[in-house]
């Protein structure tokens, strides 16, 4: 659109509406900025516009398309995510209504398949949770057994009792014959 057509359209839109319009046109090919104004207050805006550094001004004007495209892509992604969430909530609502006694036989095949997929998804989550809990339980039991073994080894390692093969160790075959059962043994012999 040429600058003349822009001026004409601005006047055509602003006059019947009774609004004041101010337009600054800028082109990367044309160094001069052109202003179209119907009021005196536009002078302040013109001064602000002309005081912008040239790089910022060109950047602000030329990147509008890129900004809008990026925003469109972002909003499209958000829309898809919200549609997925909405679909999931709708399927779960149908599932819970079916569990509550509603007759689902009159639903279209597509919705019944969606409810079936939801049931399968929830069952797989339940099975995964059971598997994780059983692994945690096994890990805790193994951890308890390992702790018991290590603490027993610590206790036995710190014990000053004589072991087999050391002086002072008494075995069941070291009993004296004919005694009254009270034998004096030195368990701490060195």
At the top level of CATH, the class of 3-53 is alpha beta
Rounded Cα distance between 28 and 5, Å, is 18
Residues of the chain with pLDDT below 70 are 1, 15, 24-63, 143-190
Measured CA to CA in angstroms, residue 29 lies from 25, 33, 58, 62, 77 at distances of 12, 11, 11, 12, 35
Of 119, 120, 107, 111, the residue nearest 90 (C-alpha): 111
Residue 41 is predicted with a pLDDT of 59
Residue 108 is predicted with a pLDDT of 92
Full DSSP string of 130-163: HHHHHHHHHHHHHHHHHHHHHHHHHHHHH--PPP
> What are the domain boundaries of the chain?
3-53, 67-155
Residue 42 is predicted with a pLDDT of 60
């Amino acid at each position: 659109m040429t600058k003349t057509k822009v001026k004409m359209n601005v006047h055509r839109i602003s006059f019947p509406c009774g609004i004041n319009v101010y337009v600054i046109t800028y082109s990367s090919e044309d160094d001069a900025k052109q202003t179209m104004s119907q009021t005196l207050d536009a002078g302040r805006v013109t001064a602000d516009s002309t005081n912008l550094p040239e790089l910022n001004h060109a950047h602000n004007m030329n990147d509008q398309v890129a900004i809008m495209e990026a925003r469109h892509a972002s909003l499209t992604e958000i829309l898809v995510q919200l549609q997925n969430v909405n679909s999931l909530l709708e399927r779960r609502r149908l599932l819970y209504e079916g569990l509550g006694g509603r007759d689902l036989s009159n639903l279209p095949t597509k919705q019944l398949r969606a409810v079936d997929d939801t049931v399968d998804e929830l069952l797989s989550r339940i099975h995964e949770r059971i598997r994780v809990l059983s692994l945690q339980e096994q890990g805790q039991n193994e951890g308890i057994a390992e702790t018991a073994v290590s603490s027993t080894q610590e206790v036995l390692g710190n014990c000053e009792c004589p072991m087999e093969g050391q002086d002072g160790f008494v075995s069941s075959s070291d009993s004296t014959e004919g005694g009254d059962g009270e034998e004096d043994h030195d368990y701490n012999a060195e």
